[in-house]
């Protein structure tokens, strides 16, 4: 079974630039998550999709971050404009059903904002 795919793996940008990350979940998984993990901290949920719909985006900085999940499958997360404090690893995860089930994580995208 193929795992969660993410791209790019690494990205370096300057502040105020924009960046986009892509995620393809495990086939058949209804729930997709985007997490931000700052060095030394646990993952923080940015947005959670159940199929096409958003079920939680309470911690997403909506003035600069946006996300969509096309046709209930893959997803993109965008930051525009980026700030220095956005430097982090962005993890995509998926689960078959709800968040009360095992989440499978992708390899992550390491973002450095200069």
Partner 1 sequence: QKEVEQNSGPLSVPEGAIASLNCTYSDRGSQSFFWYRQYSGKSPELIMFIYSNGDKEDGRFTAQLNKASQYVSLLIRDSQPSDSATYLCAVPDTGGFKTIFGAGTRLFVKA
The interface with partner 1 within residues 11-70 (CB under 8 A) comprises: 33, 35, 40-45, 48, 50, 55-56, 58-59
Nearer to partner 1, 54 or 84 (CB): 54
Side-chain half-sphere CA neighbours of 49 within 13 A: 25
Residues β-bridged to residue 88: 111
Nearer to partner 1, 14 or 102 (CB): 102
Report whether 94 contacts 101 (CB < 8 A): no
Residues β-bridged to residue 5: 24
DSSP annotation of 109 reads: E
Nearer to partner 1, 74 or 99 (CB): 99
Report whether 1 contacts 65 (CB < 8 A): no
Residue among 18, 20, 50 at smallest CA distance from 33: 50
CB of 108 to partner 1, least distance (A): 5
The interface with partner 1 within residues 69-108 (CB under 8 A) comprises: 91, 98-100, 102-108
**Number of residues binding to partner 1, judged by CB under 8 A:** 25
Chain contacts with partner 1 (rule: CB under 8 A): 33, 35, 40-45, 48, 50, 55-56, 58-59, 91, 98-100, 102-108
């Amino acid at each position: 079974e193929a795992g969660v795919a993410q791209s790019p793996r690494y990205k370096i940008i300057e502040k105020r630039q924009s960046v986009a990350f892509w995620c393809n979940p495990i086939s058949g998984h209804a729930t997709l998550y985007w997490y931000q993990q700052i060095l030394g901290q646990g993952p923080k949920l940015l947005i959670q999709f159940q199929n096409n719909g958003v079920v939680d985006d309470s911690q997403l900085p909506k003035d600069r971050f946006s996300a969509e999940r096309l046709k209930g499958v893959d997803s993109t997360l965008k930051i525009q404009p980026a700030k220095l404090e956005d430097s982090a690893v962005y993890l995509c995860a998926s689960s078959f059903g709800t968040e009360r089930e095992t989440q499978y994580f992708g390899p992550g995208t390491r973002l450095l904002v200069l």
